Structure 1
Amino acid sequence: MPKITFDQVAKSYGSVEVLPPFDLALDDGEFTVLVGPSGCGKSTTLRMLAGLETLSGGEIFFDEKPISKLEPKDRDLAMVFQDYALYPHMTIAKNMSFALRLARAPKSEIEEKVRRVAEMLNIAPLLDRKPAELSGGQRQRVAMGRALVRDAGTFLFDEPLSNLDAKLRGKMRAELAEMRDTIDKNMVYVTHDQVEAMTLGDRIVVMSDGLIQQQGTPEELFKSPVNKFVAGFIGSPSMNFIDGELVDDDGKTWVHGDGFKLPLDLDISARMNDVQTRAVTVGLRPSSLTTDISRGAPIELKVVVSEYLGAQSVLVTRCGGADVLVETQSTSPVRAGSVQTFGVLTNEIMIFDKASGLRL
């Protein structure tokens, strides 16, 4: 399995620059997730790696070997597409073995690999059927199986679960996570779903407008986002943002805003000493607000909507002109329209520059 390196890789369509020059290194045996909103360049990056798009600049290396001039079939890659891309006139067994038959592999080897992968994906009873006779989830397993039987060094996944309903997507996500732990291969996975990214990735690369915003483990991105975009994109429910102003009062640093005044912890206050701007954006995770006001700084919020989710509820509240999400236990129902006092865990407050969006 090669170490994959993007060296000043760029992509343009005519005069339109889709991906400015960027560097990225993917470690051997790593499950890397490229995540971001539609149009951020993640699928284009994957397609350049696969050889389905030409580079406008830079080079891609497998270990120390440049591969941008190689044909897709010569890159030791297998790809799973968003739309399954199965041959409708072939049985599942023939769909899965197509690449091996093109390579003229021995029949016994083909049958053994197809059987082994089909058993791993729980589709062994379906091998004699055709794609039209399968459900969406079964077709997606076949598409994955077709890639796996190739036994390539690197597997590429281009939003493979986006066509499935929510329940099936969750089931397939769990199966992918199990497969990741049993197959020691490079895997590069593209998605716009941050839940998939957080649950599957050894490392997540967050992209926006063709730029890599941040990369790291799921925990690093959740706890230490470098800017407002990453903080808002990673985590579910998403982070709350409220505009405010830094104020020094009574020997402490506070953040003031429409409808709130919150003290900053000493370590956060110390970081604010060198900050020139006073106009900031406060970032609060929904889990950073609690109904136990003894645990944090008090803040009054008007409850607009209470979304009951079973063991938990998500409250949509209002602070001045901003909506604020609060995660609570469902044991104590909260009535919509009421004004409630919550405790803010001040050690979990994040402060962002209002103009640039960078975390201070």
Structure 2
Amino acid sequence: MPEIVFDGVEKSYGSVRVLPPLDLTLHDGEFTVLVGPSGCGKSTTLRILAGLETLSGGEIYFDGKPISALEPKERDIAMVFQDYALYPHMNIARNMSFALRLAKTPKAEIDAKVQRVADMLNIGHLLARKPAELSGGQRQRVAMGRALVRDAGTFLFDEPLSNLDAKLRGKMRTELAEMRDSIEKNMVYVTHDQVEAMTLGDRIVVMNEGVVQQQGTPEELFKEPRNLFVAGFIGSPSMNFMEGALVDIGGEMHVQGAGFDLPLDATTRTRLDTATDRNVTVGIRPSSFTTDTSGATVELRVIVAEYLGAQSVLVTKLGKTELLVETQSTAPFKSGVTQSFGVNTDEIMLFDRSTGLRL
């Protein structure tokens, strides 16, 4: 389980640079999730690590040793792909044992490893079947099992759940989380789904246009986003943003905008020493709205009420700005009505409008 260090790693295709100099450390035994929108460079980073793409600059180190000149098979890495990549003419046992058979591992050892991993993934009863006889979720377990039997030092996952339906994706997330806790290996997981990232990662690395925007634990990224991009990307439903301005009213700092006037709590005010402009972007998470109107309030027109069971997500309008509100379903709301909502002002986030950085 090496410590993996990206030192100024770059990747270009001709004149198009898809990965500017990247400095990143993946710690020994950690489950690291690379997350970001399509085209942000996360899969390219993973493929460079696996040796499936060549570097355009920089170096990757495993425990201080450069590895960019090594072939993929020499890097002690196992990879799980998005499209399963199973051999259709082989049964599940032979698919899982393929790398071990190439390495001329003794048959008894192969059988023992395949059975152990298959039982862990709940596919032990499927070893005699062909891939075409399995469901999508079962095929994905086989792809994971094929990587796990190799007992590599580092496991790479390239959006392995994106081809599954929502219910099965949730089940596989749970199984991956259980597997993460039972296998002490480096795991690097690429996804565009921030729910997967928040569920699975010990540490999340948020990327955009090849640049690391922020990295930290799920809680750190949710509660202390560094900039507008991270704040809007992490969290479901996503954060609401409004344009506003800082105003001093009777010695108390407020943030005002079209249709709202919200006092700022003491903690938020202490951040404003770094503000270079009175104009700011106001960030409010959907969960920060409340039906308690005894404090700061806003008047919102309900456009759509999405019933999700215990909770509802309301699509509302504040003037021309669309805002999401997360509320308990015990208080039903009708479309078209204007409703007063309270705002937990201690959860308001302010961002510099010119740089996008959190104040």
- Secondary structure of the 2:225 match is coil
Q: What does residue 340 of structure 1 align with?
A: 339
CA distance in 2, matches of 1:291, 1:240: 17
Query: Higher mean Cα deviation, 28-37 or 297-306?
Result: 297-306
Q: Over residues 131-177 of structure 1, what are the superposed CA-to-partner deviations in whole Å (9 max), with x where a residue is unaligned?
A: 01111000000000000000000000000000000000000000000
Q: What's the TM-score, normalizing by structure 1?
A: 0.99
Distance 1:274-1:215 versus aligned 2 partners, 3 A rule: closer
Alpha-carbon deviation of 1:61?
0.4
Counterpart code for 2:192? H
Distance 1:158 1:267 in 2: 40
**Moved segments of 4+, more than 2 Å:** none
C-alpha distance in 2 between matches for 1:217 and 1:48 = 24
What residue identity is the alignment partner of 1:324? Answer: L
- Matched residues in 2 for 1:302 and 1:327: separation? 14
Contact 1:81 1:157 (C-alpha < 8 Å) held by counterparts: yes
SS of match in other structure, 2:280: strand
Q: Which moved more, 1:332-341 or 1:85-94?
A: 332-341
> What amino acid maps onto 1:218 in structure 2?
P
Separation of aligned partners in 2, 1:273 and 1:110: 63
Whichever residue aligns with residue 207 of structure 1, its letter is: M
Q: Does 1:249 align with 2:249?
A: yes
Most deviating of 262-271 and 213-222: 262-271
- 1:252·1:269 contact (CA, 8 Å) conserved in 2? no
Return the offset for 1:274.
4.2
- Contact 1:282–1:349 (8 Å) recurs in 2: yes
Distance 1:153 1:271 in 2: 43
CA–CA distance in 1 between the matches of 2:65 and 2:274? 46
CA shift for structure 1 position 279: 1.3
Aligned counterparts of 2:276 and 2:88: Cα–Cα separation in 1: 63
Question: What's the counterpart of residue 102 of structure 1?
Answer: 102
RMSD: 0.7
Counterpart mapping for 1:58-137 below 5 A: 58-137=58-137
Per-residue CA distance 1:94-127 (angstroms, 9 max, x = gap) = 0000000000000000000000000000001110
How far, CA to CA, are the matches of 2:233 and 2:293 in structure 1? 28
Corresponding residue of 1:297: 296
Answer yes or no: is the 8 Å Cα contact 1:305–1:336 preserved in 2. Answer: yes
Question: Identity across aligned pairs (percent)?
Answer: 76
Alignment partner, residue 161 of structure 1: 161
Asked if 2 retains the 8 angstrom alpha-carbon contact of 1:279 and 1:354, the reply is yes
Q: Give the whole-Å Cα distance in 2 for the aligned partners of 1:193 and 1:53.
A: 24
CA distance in 1, matches of 2:249, 2:292: 26
197-206 or 326-335, which deviates more: 326-335
Offset, 1:85: 0.3
What letter matches 2:223 in structure 1?
K
Following superposition, the deviation at residue 268 of structure 1 comes to 1.3
Query: Corresponding residue for 2:308?
Result: 309
Give CA-to-partner distance per residue, 1:44-74, whole Å, 9 cap, x none. 0000000000000110000011100000000
Question: TM-score normalised to the size of structure 2?
Answer: 0.99
Partner of 1:266: 266
Aligned to 1:355: 354
Tell me, yes or no, if structure 1 residue 276 matches structure 2 residue 276: yes
Amino acid corresponding to residue 154 of structure 1 in structure 2: T
* Gap regions ≥5 residues in structure 1: none
| Aligned positions of 1:168-187 closer than 5 A | 168-187=168-187
Is 1:352–1:358's contact at 8 Å kept on the other side of the alignment? Answer: yes
Distance in 2 of aligned mates of 1:129 and 1:327:
46
Q: Report the Cα distance in structure 2 between the residues aligned to 1:68 and 1:195, rounded to whole angstroms.
A: 32
Q: Any gaps of 5 or more consecutive residues in structure 2?
A: none
- Describe how 1:207-218 pairs up with structure 2 within 5 A: 207-218=207-218
**Who is 2:318 aligned against?**
319
**How many residue pairs were aligned?**
359
Q: Confirm whether residue 206 of structure 1 aligns to residue 210 of structure 2.
A: no
Does the CA contact (< 8 Å) of 1:176 and 1:200 recur in 2? yes
Cα distance in 2, alignment partners of residues 151 and 58 from structure 1: 28
